[in-house]
Amino acid sequence: MMTSITPLSANKPHLVVVGNGMVGHHFVEQIIAQGGHELFHIIVFGEEPHLAYDRVHLSEYFTGKGAADLAMTDGSLYDDNGVRYFTNSLVTQIDRAAKLLVLKNGETLSYDKLVLATGSYPFVPPIPGHKRNNTFVYRTLEDLDAIRNCAKTVTRGTVVGGGLLGLEAANALKNLGLETSVVEFAPRLMPVQLDEKGGSVLKGMIEGLDVKVYTDTATQDIVDGETAFHRMNFADGTHLETDLILFSAGIRPQDALAKQSGLEAGERGGITINNHCQTSDEDIYSIGECALWNGRIYGLVAPGYTMAKAAVGHLLGTESVSFTGADMSTKLKLLGCDVGSVGDAHAQTQGSKVFVYQDEISQSYRKMVVSEDGKKLLGAVLVGDNSYYDTLLQYYLNAIDLPEQAQSLILPAMDGAPAALGVDALPATASICSCHNVSKQDISDAVCNGALSVGDVKGVTKAATGCGGCTALLKKVVDNELLALGVEVSTDICEHFTYTRQDLYNMVKIEEIKSFASLLEKHGKGHGCEICKPVVGSILASVWNDYVLKKEHISLQDTNDRFLANMQKDGTYSIVPRIPGGEITPDRLIVLGEVAKEYALYTKVTGGQRIDLFGATLAQLPEIWEKLISAGFETGQAYGKSLRTVKSCVGSTWCRYGVNDSMKMAIDLENRYKGLRSPHKIKFAVSGCTRECAEAQSKDIGVIATEGGWNLYVCGNGGMKPRHGDLFATDLDDETLVKYIDRVLMFYTKTADRLQRTSVWMDGLEGGLAYLKEVVINDKLGLCDELEERMQHVVNTFQCEWKTTLEDPEALKTFRQFVNYEGVDTNVVFVEERNQMRPATDLEKQQLIAKAG
């Protein structure tokens, strides 16, 4: 007995999408963006329990990311646009004559147009014993859950397959703490992307990381082991004992449904499509890894996205894009090793010539394949250093004539930077971001329409928001376009200093400048303004950490720093005492209540787990602080561009899920970094487990407890432009965690622009997250000692600014409401609302005056 899924509306044709992986989801996104949901009733079936998630970053599931982080949609995009979706739903049959789909549970649905985005499945070689317990594949979140569970109880893991995905899986096993081996049938690793030499250099690098690599090795069977769960017997008579086996021997197109319904398919699998991604049945499209175009399967996400766009264009009749193949060049980091492959990496083109560079000391290998006349780049292989990749890729993709000394493109430059291709040499059609198919022309258009920064261009074009590999190139193109437009990209902070904030920081530090006056005298002109004064005030505080209301600094401080409180709209102030980690004793809580009552202050709990007292006049600030300090409070620096708060959960102290003492860590971090003046405000959070109740991933510095220590996230941002923090390092001990935070914060303080939050700083950092890791973890710039010393200086010289102020009669004088009169500002008027005071509105003030008059 078949039931059928009732459509929402009978008057629109049904467009059914089978498969909800990255490409299937991209198709839905694109068709909604172009208004296709108005024309079609769209229904989506996904076999997995989750809606689409980011499979490209699947391995991050083992390094702290949860299913929600990897999710590409929470379903709201579908719900808001009338797209119906069914997860855990396997389509088993297509009746093309009746235009009907049959699901595994027997339900049916009629379709008018059908899109097959069924993806691929992992190929498991039919080795006897391949179905034993403790054998896995690496494709879905469920696979990873199973691997993780197994890894908890065993010590040795082996990956069968030394290709791209196999090495990524090996890295995952290593991260799970297993002794890891890789077994590859071919004579070298990554046989598709690398040549023999490149493969052997990579093998050496990976073995240097304690991963055993067996190439040219065929597994005959898998049986019970003697010292481990399995024994893998090899064709050459040797064997390997291992507890867990992960098959990663390639992918096969998921084309069973298409074959069952008689759609044309390739001999070795794949659903045959044309340039519009139509199959042999014009009402059925196929996109992604299940599709076969011109005899090729494209196992990368970018071509799949292009197919999705082509199918959408054809369905809606706009035909804006067609699919005519894709470049399979790729650059990645495998087990921390740079690997890149461009075009004809194996020099199979007739008459091609090769340049090779190898450096056995730094373990790097580079090869260029050029045309017979030496004019064009046909392909390249890179192992050990991907900084050459962007330039080579552009030469290849755009068939740009090679320079006179073509080999310079892979030779190490004498100044340490590889020869870069001037971006003005790129044609307008050059693809800058292949994930989102953004050309140089698109970027140029965005700049012409007013996007004047890398951040703006990212927002408008989506360039560099996919894998992020093109960030550096994007920045070059944007700068170049601005230059071409004659937009002067002035980095001067104001008319008084023709320098960047970073320049000023360096001058202050290196020349040991201690005041605004002497910096202005040496390097500036005029008398300063509200731009440069606070910047220099902040830099002086970051470097020397003087009391900010010192005579020579007081006139530099902006609105809130000037009076160590937060000015509100009526000119009164709010006060935020520090409550480290949000932990407060009942006695202190009572003090806050009593002080607030005495001065009739409006009280509110802030988002940062502190208490804000509003409505204090200038003259009341010292009195109130006198009381707070004697009760043991200190300033919370809510007024400063400095550390505000470290949000926390109660962690293992109270919570039944907590795996570490997040409360103590939050308090320690807050006490360490309080008082650091930085380019902008900084917020932290510490969560005691992966449930992430403290929302650490939305903070500048986020710390999440794991079974193995702490995961550190950096450069997140709530506020106007939310940005999730990037996972920076995993399973750190307390000491390393603090060390890394010291370095990240000080590097930010040293190099960021004025009023630039860490998230924007990170987005503009050439080389992005990878570069920051190089600087902070591997000490690429040799700065780490200095960064730590500077931070230690700030920590050692902390003072409660309010305590200092109360002891300084000169500073206290500036808190008088009037210099010659003891009265109050009669324009400050409060009315009562919800049992507390609030500022009166203009209208209320007029009514009160009329009454009084």
Partner 1 sequence: MTMQWKLVCKQSDLVVDAGVAAMVNGEQIALFYVPESENKVFAIGNWDPIGKANVLSRGLVAHLQDEWVVASPLYKQHFVLSSGRCLEEDINVPHWSAKLEGDGIYVACN
Pick from 107, 281, 558, 786 the residue near partner 1 by CB under 8 A: 558
d(CA 193, CA 191): 6
DSSP symbols for 302-331: HHHHHHHHHHHHHHTT------------EE
> Are the beta carbons of 160 and 247 closer than 8 angstroms?
yes
Give the range of 332-340, 469-477, 524-532, 694-702 binding partner 1 by CB under 8 A.
524-532
Alpha-carbon separation of residue 308 from 287, 311, 789 (angstroms): 6, 5, 52
CB of 819 to partner 1, least distance (A): 4
Instruction: Output the six-digit token pair for 623.
Output: 């009195």
SS3 label, residue 521: helix
Give the range of 108-116, 420-428, 567-575, 656-664 binding partner 1 by CB under 8 A.
567-575
Note whether 522 binds partner 1 by CB under 8 A. Answer: no
Give the range of 156-164, 221-229, 527-535, 661-669 binding partner 1 by CB under 8 A.
527-535
CB of 827 to partner 1, least distance (A): 6
Give the range of 102-110, 135-143, 388-396, 569-577 binding partner 1 by CB under 8 A.
569-577
With 0-12 CB in 10 A as exposed, 13-18 as middle and 19+ as buried, what is 590? exposed
395 to 414: interface string for partner 1, x by CB under 8 A: --------------------
Residue 417 or 821 having the CB closest to partner 1: 821
Alpha-carbon separation of residue 770 from 137, 469, 510, 733, 780 (angstroms): 28, 10, 28, 21, 11
570 to 609: interface string for partner 1, x by CB under 8 A: xx--------------------------------------
Pairing label, strands 91-95, 100-103: antiparallel
Alpha-carbon separation of residue 176 from 60, 664, 730 (angstroms): 12, 27, 11
Pick from 80, 221, 224, 495 the residue near partner 1 by CB under 8 A: 495
Instruction: Output the six-digit token pair for 112.
Output: 């008018």
Tell me how far apart the 2 most distant CA atoms of the chain are, in Å.
106
Residues belonging to the chain: 853
Instruction: Output the six-digit token pair for 687.
Output: 């969560």
SS3 label, residue 102: strand
Note whether 819 binds partner 1 by CB under 8 A. Answer: yes
Pick from 530, 598, 626, 785 the residue near partner 1 by CB under 8 A: 530
Give the range of 51-59, 226-234, 698-706, 824-832 binding partner 1 by CB under 8 A.
824-832
CB of 825 to partner 1, least distance (A): 5
Site for partner 1 in 448-487 (CB under 8 A): none
Note whether 818 binds partner 1 by CB under 8 A. Answer: yes
Q: Which of 73, 145, 92 is nearest to 254 (CA)?
A: 92
Residue 102: what are its φ and ψ, rounded to 5°?
-120, 130
The number of C-alpha atoms within 13 Å of 823 and in the hemisphere containing its C-beta is 5
CB of 842 to partner 1, least distance (A): 7
CB of 571 to partner 1, least distance (A): 4
Instruction: Output the six-digit token pair for 798.
Output: 């902390």
616 to 655: interface string for partner 1, x by CB under 8 A: --x-------------------------------------
CB of 820 to partner 1, least distance (A): 5
d(CA 208, CA 315): 52
Note whether 551 binds partner 1 by CB under 8 A. Answer: yes
3-state secondary structure 210-232: CEEEECCCCEEEEEECCCCCEEE
Pick from 88, 318, 320, 559 the residue near partner 1 by CB under 8 A: 559
DSSP 289: G
Residue 558 or 583 having the CB closest to partner 1: 558
Note whether 827 binds partner 1 by CB under 8 A. Answer: yes
CB of 602 to partner 1, least distance (A): 17
Note whether 792 binds partner 1 by CB under 8 A. Answer: no
Instruction: Output the six-digit token pair for 668.
Output: 């320690």
Note whether 656 binds partner 1 by CB under 8 A. Answer: no
CB of 680 to partner 1, least distance (A): 17
Pick from 528, 688, 702, 725 the residue near partner 1 by CB under 8 A: 528
Note whether 569 binds partner 1 by CB under 8 A. Answer: yes
First to last CA, the chain: 85
SS3 label, residue 135: strand
Give the range of 40-48, 171-179, 310-318, 810-818 binding partner 1 by CB under 8 A.
810-818
Tell me, what amino acid is at 51? Answer: L
Residue with tokens 């510095």, as numbered in its chain? 701
Pick from 813, 834, 835, 851 the residue near partner 1 by CB under 8 A: 813
Count of residues near partner 1 by CB under 8 A:
35
Q: How many other CB atoms sit within 10 Å of the CB of residue 216?
A: 12
CB of 806 to partner 1, least distance (A): 18
Residues in the site for partner 1, rule: CB under 8 A? 495-496, 526-530, 533-534, 551, 554-555, 557-559, 562-563, 567, 569-571, 618, 813-814, 816-821, 823, 825, 827-828, 842
